[in-house]
Amino acid sequence: MAENGVNMDISGFLRSSWQGILLSVVIAVPSWVLVKSIDGLEVVGAPIIAIVAGMVVSILWKRHDCIKKGTSFTSKYVLQFSVVLLGFGLNLSVIGRVGLDSLPIIVSTISTSLIVAYALYRIIRTPAKTTTLVGIGSSICGGSAIAAAAPVIKADNDEIAQSIAVIFFFNVVAAIIFPTLGQMLGMSDEGFALFAGTAINDTSSVTAAASTWDAIHGTGSAVLDQATIVKLTRTLFIIPIVLVLSYITLKKEPSSDGHGRNIRRAFPMFILYFILASVITTVCTSVLTGDALETANGVFSSLKQVSAFLIVVAMAAIGLNTNLVELVKTGGKPLTIGFFCWVSIAAVSLLMQHIMGFW
């Protein structure tokens, strides 16, 4: 009897949700293919293309009720699952060996971005959740950090879309101007790798800027490899940031039973699975050798690609649930937050490098 109930629940969910889920996938696929097919488009990134496409389709689509349940599921649970799979791209032993040198710079830039975002929230009364998402996205790892933080603070689709759009804009600017800025400042290869890895928030833009530097200076992939490790080290800060956010959010909520807060709700379980995925990757790549190691690396690489694609699917769903007109009307303050966070991160990164003797 219970089994029949479960089957009916699943069947009912699929009947009410398949259209929204399918439409999100239909938008995500061409967004993903475009970025993979056209050189230079990776700077923009498939997630932002999917959000914009979703918003355009939302304007044209007249039957919003039939896709609402599916897009809501996709924008929440598929997004969380993509964060879990992101853990398979993190080898903690490599980060520990190479990324520790950049740790003081990373901590300084993250702290600066969060302080600047909070100051702007207090001074010019920027929206709290959007401010939080932009501050975290700017300081850690762009869309992935926003994907991890949004469910915890219960951000709505408009707030997520607006934050992603702000991060995207400054990603593109950084990827274009940072290699030239680095040359003007006379930065070393190591210095620019640290600069790109700590001052650009999205992996695709870090890759674009570092690859441009390698091409200009004929350094093979040396700067790209180091910048990527620095960037992955930053990604680990998703864990403490999200846990702190979950605690703050829980404190603001009334107790569910009147006898103390539900501690279990304070811990976002998908972050635990993200940690487990990272540990599995680390252990497997440490103990396996030969063909087994090659197979494991192939599996982990595939899971990382699936994670990236699912983020695009979730962003398409968020776009479908976003009011484009309202987004444009309220975009001034989020852009202000993004600008000051971006500039402060770049400045602190350069200052810390100078203090530590990297540049």
Q: How many CB atoms lie within 10 A of CB 12?
A: 10
Q: Which residues contact 7 (CB under 8 A, 6 or more apart)?
A: none
Predicted pLDDT of residue 309: 92
Decide: 282 and 91 in contact? Cβ < 8 Å.
yes
Predicted pLDDT of residue 8: 45
Decide: 49 and 34 in contact? Cβ < 8 Å.
yes
Predicted pLDDT of residue 129: 92
Predicted pLDDT of residue 255: 52
Collapsing DSSP states into helix, strand and coil, what is residue 7? helix
Predicted pLDDT of residue 6: 46
Asked whether the CA dihedral 125, 167, 74, 279 is positive or negative, the reply is negative
Angstrom distances, CA of residue 230 to CA of 135, 165, 240, 263, 297 = 19, 24, 17, 33, 20
From 174, 224, 226, 179, select the one nearest 202 (Cα to Cα): 174
Predicted pLDDT of residue 132: 94
Q: How far, in Å, CA of 241 to CA of 136, rounded?
A: 8
Q: How many CB atoms lie within 10 A of CB 266?
A: 16
Decide: 341 and 113 in contact? Cβ < 8 Å.
yes
Decide: 20 and 73 in contact? Cβ < 8 Å.
yes
Q: How far, in Å, CA of 41 to CA of 16, rounded?
A: 35
Per-residue pLDDT of the chain (359 residues; tens, 9 = 90+): 445 544 546 666 666 688 889 999 999 999 999 988 887 777 677 888 898 899 889 888 777 778 888 888 898 889 889 888 988 888 888 777 666 778 899 999 999 999 999 999 999 888 899 999 999 999 887 878 898 898 889 898 888 888 988 888 888 788 889 999 999 999 999 899 999 999 988 777 888 888 889 888 888 878 888 888 888 888 888 889 988 888 888 777 655 444 444 545 555 778 888 889 999 999 999 999 999 999 999 999 899 889 989 989 998 998 888 777 766 776 688 889 999 999 999 999 999 988 888 76
Which ranges in the chain belong to alpha helices (H)?
2-37, 46-60, 65-73, 79-86, 92-98, 103-124, 128-139, 143-153, 157-184, 189-199, 203-217, 222-235, 238-252, 263-266, 269-287, 290-320, 324-329, 332-356
